[in-house]
Structure 1
Amino acid sequence: MSATAHTPHIPVVIVGAGQAGLSVSWYLGRAGIEHVVIESKTPTHAWADSRWDNFTLVTPNWHCRLPGYVYEGPDPDGFMTRDEVVEWLDGWLDTFTPPVREHTTVTRLRRPNDTGFELTLNSDAGEELITCDQVVIATGGYPLPVIPPFASSLNPAVTQIHSEEYFNPEQLPDGAVLVVGSGQSGTQIAEDLHLAGRQVHLAIGNAPRVARFYRGRDCMTWLAEMGLYDTPAQQYPGGKAAQEKTNHYVTGRDGGRDVDLRQFAREGMRLYGTLTDGKDATLRFVESLTAALDKADAVYNSICADIDRHIEANAIDAPPPSRYDPVWRPDSDPTDLDLAAAGITSIIWAIGFRPDYRWIEASAFDGGGRPMQTRGVTQVPGLSFIGLPWMHTWGSGRFLGIDRDARHIADTVVDALGESRLRLAAAQ
């Protein structure tokens, strides 16, 4: 397909109708900018379709703020469940009417010349082409679930699913469960299974942990007050290495609490280091369990110490400081596991996602397939992103930072459209 004089032209196209893309739409609508939001399913569908039944936010409810809409419920320091988040987002969508085209997928985006883009769309009505001046990609940071290559060589009798497919323990066959990954999803799913009485085996990586509450307040409230969620990525302590780390594991379940893997081990959960390989019923691990637990606890205590310094520097009246002391230590670091002998009938892969921008034909990506951007704006004129982790600050990609990021992208788009229209008028 190629564009013709009859090809529909829309000034701005937003690809993805999650909260990030819709936030840009909110601002463009207020500015009177004609645009459309292309969504492969339905707005904010991921919250209802890709979270387990007992999912809760790990950030306090007061973090939840979108353009023209903030959490005003009875529990600002609590943690909304999956269904409460869906209800809250539905309430936001009732406040405006974004121009969304549902059940439509963008299969190709290219820039045939210096003045705009062509998008190939696919829906039940078939394939079509539209053109635009500006494109905002709001498809999420990393949409493709990661499954290790050796997964296909494991015993086919063992059920394997990715964390985004997990909803509750009842969906799994009877028997023990191996969860691979100790990020926020992996540890919370392991806890969900553990609380349901399942025998859980957990292979952990290098994810850090954080206290849920410390010295009278939620840790994330302290960190917000300290400005960590507002610090630009270029100025953040630890630089690029800090931005690549897995988020700290913690939970908002039952009002919020620490996730303490050592305590889980005391209660019968089996812990292992990093899983590296497997075949048939045999899995192999790095001897990293002891070091991983110690490192996670060191980060936990380091964050507490940072909060202590903030309290002291500002003469804040707060309960006395404390530190985490290990309640359990492994006797050894296991290096192998026989799935059959351990009675493991299911594996849940919670090792993350990877980017997939193969449908975008533009020189805007690094060697790892990640967008090269500054506050969401790329060097490709007219191409920008929204909703990426660390797009501008640690708050980017979270409810707390979406409004600010969306406003910046919308301002950039409006400014660019104004300049292009001025150039066009001058040429005429």
Structure 2
Amino acid sequence: MKIAMIGTGYVGLVSGACFADFGHDVCCVDRDEAKIAGLEAGRMPIWEPGLEDLVESNVRRGRLTFTTDLARGVDGADAVFIAVGTPARRGDGHADLSYVFAAAAEIAGALTGPAVIVTKSTVPVGTGDAIAKILIDEGAPEGTLVASNPEFLREGAAIADFKHPDRIVVGAEDPRAEAVLREIYRPLFLNKAPILFTGRRTAELIKYAANAFLATKISFINEIADLCEKVGADVQEVSRGIGLDNRIGPKFLHAGPGYGGSCFPKDTLALLRTAEESGVPMRIVNTVVEVNDARKSGMGDRVREAVGGSLQGKKIAVLGLTFKPNTDDMRDAPSLALIDTLKKGGAEIAAFDPVGREQAEPLLPGISFADDSYAAAAGADALVIVTEWDEFRALDLRRIAGAMRGTALVDLRNIYGEDEVVRAGLSYRGIGRAVTS
């Protein structure tokens, strides 16, 4: 089938490349001329394992193209996916739908025949209805339909998630739209991927409900971690103990510095605003947001305690800046709140991230960036592990200890055990573990 993908951000580019790899004819559209020129030259605007090779392969086979001309992109398309940003609106937390609605209006004027317009962007309940009205008002061809197809991609594992999904959710009000989406995803039926057809509003809410539930698991285990520290329990063993219950499951039960990224922070806020407008209190989700905000800012207090109670004049090495490993995404990364707290306390910061430096530098003025972990640790009073990149899991701790001025290792991801850290000559502070060193 012929597919147009409006937006070449994280969701649009990954989805477009994967659809092309299924054998569909895909044209990705973006207004950013530099981004499109880069893609045509083989330069990726995001860092995602395997994406560059996937794009190059499908461009070479003629199944994937890029353009800034929306009319060219949607010409003859069976389906047009809207995959533009829906950031949280400043001040009130509502999802900013201006890019979605602008895309819908432009699509309506560019279509030369009926197509299924599919919202891939994460949008509040009722957005599909608003898009349908825009299409009518802007004179879209008769027979143009609207469907919802939310994405469930994890940054760092997006291609595998797309090709081997837990589920595919399609919200449609017309069997013709359902048939088009069924055909687009037909290659995944060989893998017996579950596909759920619902109404549009239900599909829109499924995305928000899923992310809010996962955020709840994270905030829950982080509060349990705080309790573990006070009573002498180990949160990793608690997590395993409850995660072995198949009603709970082990995923998203890893204590740490709080959630960040492009989805959980904005989606929980958007869900709260939708609930507020509907007169439905969502006290659990509201508390999850409050717990997470406090969590991220509170990580600096742990570092301050580890260096004796004052950050003034201390040098702190920070390993990992992106909100999770295997991505360069800095959106709402816990490192931002941590470093802000450390700087306000008078600390000097040296940071290292394997791929996130380019994205991090504009967000973190006034800190130094090292070329590797050992350079960051040189002369530091404390080393803080913020993001669990694989290369941080097997550091030469004796070399780290020899490079540092102080001895504190603050492990916000629990990737080390206290014994091995102490043997290397360092003191250890983890998450959800009793403080003994």
TM-score normalised to structure 2 length:
0.26
TM-score normalised to structure 1 length:
0.27
Structure with greater contact order relative to length (CA < 8 Å, sep ≥ 6): 1
Give 1 or 2: higher strand fraction.
Answer: 1
Give 1 or 2: higher helix fraction.
Answer: 2
